[in-house]
Amino acid sequence: MNKSNISSKISSYVDNFWNDEIIPELVEYIKIPNKSPAFDKNWEKNGYMEKVLKNAVKWAKKHAPEKSEFHIKKANGKTPLILIDIPGDKEGNVLMYGHLDKQPEMDGWRDDLGPWKPVIQDDKLYGRGGADDGYALFACIAAVNSLIKQGVSLPRIIILIEFCEESGSPDLPYYMEDCKDIIGDVDLVICLDSGAGNYEQFWSTVSLRGMIACKLQINVLKEGVHSGSASGVVPSPFRLLNKLISRLEDSDTGKIDLENLNVEIPDERKIQALEMVESLGNWEEEFPWYGNTKPSTSNSYESMLNRTWRPTMTVIGIDGIPPIKDGGNVLLPFSAANLSFRLPPTADSKKAMQEVEKTLLSDPPNSCEVSIKWEKAANGWNAPSCKPWLNDAINESSKEIFGKPARAMGEGGTIPFMGMLGERYPQAQFVITGVLGPNSNAHGPNEFIHIPFAKRLNTCIALILSNYQKN
């Protein structure tokens, strides 16, 4: 049987498997508010995670290949972990990754949609967690099964599914050490937790930004006082908060000049960014702009580098300021903000934290009390160069299934697992991809998974595995 016939049969199998087995299970998964521990402090008591775990294991045991060995890890106080060990018939060790925890609800969903309300419209399945990252476990098994059905020889495959990725994967280092003898040395990592520039070709992620996050608080009074009496005498904590933030970024451009938050951008990544822009055109239009709001820069290439290789800071939460409806004539005693920094892929997150802290704490304005509480830190990741067989396999799969060449992309998000794996398995090859394409809106309202694209992506993964070479 030639390659074209095999591709056709694999594609047909994946399509039917999605329709019959994956979509119905995804629908049930979306209904469960299995928020990551960072967003549900009572996750153990609420039992949603346990329900998702049981459902996932039940489904996987029904569909996984014969002789698959299941390892369900539940360390005390930690989120669970699923390891599925699928024996192979040729040399090599492949690790496939996904997660089953979710971001919180968020406001702004369309009236006919909701985070825990699965709805299929126009080839899209709406609901929280379907695209990020509920499909991954099912897609991994679909890819393996499609090849076994065609008699394709496979290496050993380990499927790893965690339950705290959206919290920064705090439990994963423990499990990676605990399971190191089960996993062994890894030759190829396939991660299904990333994005796509469009729905028209295969996209592999070659870099991920790191991140640090903190709560910055300014205290000026022991309690609130009448603004008529105090303003002009007591400095506004909100003004001082803004003054400190301006030490970090240019208020006009958002540029951050701190030395340890910037790196030299590799020439290869600059070329790939240019190719991305050539494929995507005015890619910034994918965001739901309000009115006539413009991007930070009108240069799409510079915007792409800003999103992938330059540091940024975002205020993602604020405290000490009542809602407008509750606000009185009070000069408030404090202001606090949650600051989220995205770091270039090769920046050192610990050094970045130290420099941010030094910048904010030195010489506080009006001698006010300034405090910082660090909440998250993760290094980014920069992929090693693809070996020729893998580069060919990725491009051939994209041309076969999509009719277009594959594209490499930098991703603005952070997947702590990738940095961890890069350090643990420095000789491994990586295929990082996923279904999060334009407007799919992971973490936001109206999140969806584009079903036809997911099927084609799944088929590409199977074809890449079919061409696997250890060396």
pLDDT at position 2 is: 61
pLDDT at position 237 is: 97
- Check pLDDT > 80 for residue 1: no
The mean pLDDT of 397-405, rounded to a whole number, is: 96
Compute the distance between CA of residue 63 and CA of residue 145 in angstroms, rounded to an integer: 8
Q: Are residues 226 and 202 in the same domain?
A: no
In a domain, 471, yes or no: no
Q: Are residues 460 and 432 in the same domain?
A: yes
Choosing from 308, 337, 369, the residue where a domain stops is 308
CATH of the domain at 218: 3.30.70.360
Q: Are residues 25 and 110 in the same domain?
A: yes
Q: Are residues 24 and 94 in the same domain?
A: yes
CB 94 within 8 A of CB 188: yes
Q: Are residues 276 and 394 in the same domain?
A: no
Number of independent structural domains in the chain: 3
- Check pLDDT > 70 for residue 411: yes
Residue 233: domain span: 210-263+309-378
Give pLDDT tens digits for 194-229. 999 999 999 999 999 999 999 999 999 999 999 999
- Check pLDDT > 80 for residue 471: no
In a domain, 404, yes or no: yes
In a domain, 170, yes or no: yes
- Check pLDDT > 70 for residue 406: yes
Q: Are residues 107 and 26 in the same domain?
A: yes
CATH of the domain at 115: 3.40.630.10
Q: Are residues 251 and 342 in the same domain?
A: yes
Compute the distance between CA of residue 278 and CA of residue 274 in angstroms, rounded to an integer: 6
CB neighbours of 338 closer than 8 A, spacing ≥ 6? 213, 214, 215, 216, 315, 316, 317, 318, 375
CB 44 within 8 A of CB 164: no
Q: Are residues 303 and 420 in the same domain?
A: no
pLDDT at position 286 is: 82
CB neighbours of 297 closer than 8 A, spacing ≥ 6? 253, 303, 306
Compute the distance between CA of residue 191 and CA of residue 169 in angstroms, rounded to an integer: 14
Q: Look-up: residue for tokens 């090599």?
A: 92
Q: Are residues 142 and 233 in the same domain?
A: no
What's phi and psi for 416, nearest 5 deg? -55, -30
The mean pLDDT of 115-141, rounded to a whole number, is: 98
- Integer Rg of the chain from CA: 24
Locate 71 and state its tokens: 């390892």
**Average per-residue pLDDT for the chain:** 95
In a domain, 172, yes or no: yes
Compute the distance between CA of residue 428 and CA of residue 73 in angstroms, rounded to an integer: 24
Choosing from 378, 399, 428, the residue where a domain stops is 378
Give pLDDT tens digits for 34-64. 999 999 999 999 999 999 999 999 999 999 9
Q: Are residues 16 and 160 in the same domain?
A: yes
pLDDT at position 168 is: 85
Give pLDDT tens digits for 216-266. 999 999 999 999 999 999 999 999 999 999 999 999 999 999 999 999 999
Give pLDDT tens digits for 440-470. 999 999 999 999 999 999 999 999 999 999 8
In a domain, 190, yes or no: yes
Q: Are residues 183 and 106 in the same domain?
A: yes
Choosing from 354, 378, 402, the residue where a domain stops is 378
Q: Are residues 120 and 150 in the same domain?
A: yes
- Check pLDDT > 90 for residue 418: no
